[in-house]
Chain A
Amino acid sequence: MVCKIVEESFEPFATLEKCQKEIFVNGAKVGANAIFVGTMRDFNDGESVESLFLEHYPEMAEKVLSDIRAEAVKRWELDEALIVHRVGRIYPGDAIVLVATWASHRAHAFESCRHMMEILKSDAPFWKKERLKEGERWVTKNTSGVTSL
């Protein structure tokens, strides 16, 4: 499992451990493992958010995730890369996305993990609709992936 879209809630670190065992049959003795886990906030744009629905374009989303992973593996010196993305009804605290990379050295692991996440945010066809105390609304933009520090 290197790219997967899941409809049920998943525990990211259990998923990571399971994948790592599948990917590295003899144990992950690779030097560096970078991990990003995105989870649902219970607030956005000044309002409490009760849940959200993550819609996707299934066939295109699978292709885009696969392409993002393939490009990263080609560009950086990676032993492996993993993307898991949730769809459907999601509640605060639930994991939405897991991106993980394995490499001999941290530079390749860190950079590729961040790059994959940023490209996923802009290119992968997923859309969030938030359920508020009163009514629903589409999320129309992503927050920045960089700080001003």
Chain B
Amino acid sequence: MQIKIKFFASLAEIVGCRETVITIEGKETVESVWIQVAGDRPIPDGTLCAINRIHCEFDKEVKNNDEVAYFPPMTGG
């Protein structure tokens, strides 16, 4: 399965990556995908996530061709 990963704002700086594509096999969640990409760096408190541009929980299973995004709490407006 191919998964597109995106990091935004402070998380992109923490992880040192804005966008990447990874190949995974078997059952993976948004949380386990973070570990694959960010390694030892823990998920910062308050981090939010989305699959295919829809907010989701970290235990949500990812599927082939999903776009998984991680970002800090929003501060727009």
- Which A residues form the contact surface with B (CB < 8 A)? 38, 54-57, 59-60, 63, 85, 96-97, 117, 120-129, 138-142
Contact = CB atoms under 8 A, between A and B. Distances in A.
Interface of B: 6, 8-10, 46, 50, 53-55, 69, 71-77
A139 B74 CA distance: 9
A69 to B, nearest CB: 14
Given A60-B53, A63-B53, A138-B10, A127 B72 contact: yes
A138 B72 contact: yes
Contact of B69 (A57, A85, A124, A139): A57
A138 B54 CA distance: 23
Contacts of B53: 57, 59-60, 63
B70 to A, nearest CB: 10
B67 to A, nearest CB: 8
B77 A124 contact: yes
Count chain A CB atoms within 10 A of each CB in B9, B50, B53 and give the residue with the most: B9
Given A57-B53, A125-B8, A141 B73 contact: yes
B75 A140 contact: yes
Contacts of A38: 77
A126 B50 contact: no
B72 A128 contact: no
Nearest to B48: A125
Count chain A CB atoms within 10 A of each CB in B10, B54, B74, B76 and give the residue with the most: B76
Contacts of B9: 55, 127, 129, 138
B77 A96 contact: yes
Given A129-B9, A138-B10, A124 B76 contact: yes
Given A125-B71, A127-B76, 7 more contacts: A60-B69, A120-B76, A123-B55, A123-B74, A125-B76, A141-B73, A141-B75
